[in-house]
Amino acid sequence: MTSSRSGDSWYKDAAAAQIQSERRKDSERLNGRVAMLGFVVGLLTEAITGQGIVSQITFGFFGGN
């Protein structure tokens, strides 16, 4: 009985690795979507206010308006 239990540990390890991989993929997908949303918001703000993305980020420091 102990040999079958120790033989099942590879299955549990493989399942845990697969779950971790899927979570990592999901988090990377979400991160990418949030980055795209932030970029679009930056472009829209630039179109509306006329200030570039760099001046938006630095709040006018470093010579921006």
Whether 46 maps to a domain, the answer reads: yes
Q: What is the pLDDT of residues 7-61, one digit of tens each?
A: 778 889 999 999 999 999 999 999 999 999 999 998 898 899 888 878 777 765 6
Whether 47 maps to a domain, the answer reads: yes
- What span, in angstroms and rounded, lies between the C-alpha atoms of 32 and 38? 10
Whether 12 maps to a domain, the answer reads: yes
Whether 64 maps to a domain, the answer reads: no
Residue 63 pLDDT > 60: no
Q: Is the dihedral of CA 45, 47, 50, 55 positive or negative?
A: positive
pLDDT score at 59 = 66
Whether 42 maps to a domain, the answer reads: yes
Total number of domains constituting the chain: 1
Collapsing DSSP to helix, strand or coil, 64 comes out as: coil
Whether 65 maps to a domain, the answer reads: no
Whether 16 maps to a domain, the answer reads: yes
Number of residues assigned to the chain:
65
Q: 1: pLDDT confidence band, cut at 50, 70 and 90?
A: very low
Prediction pTM value: 0.61
- Domain range holding 25? 2-58
pLDDT score at 21 = 92
Closest by Cα among 22, 42, 23 to 34:
42
Whether 36 maps to a domain, the answer reads: yes
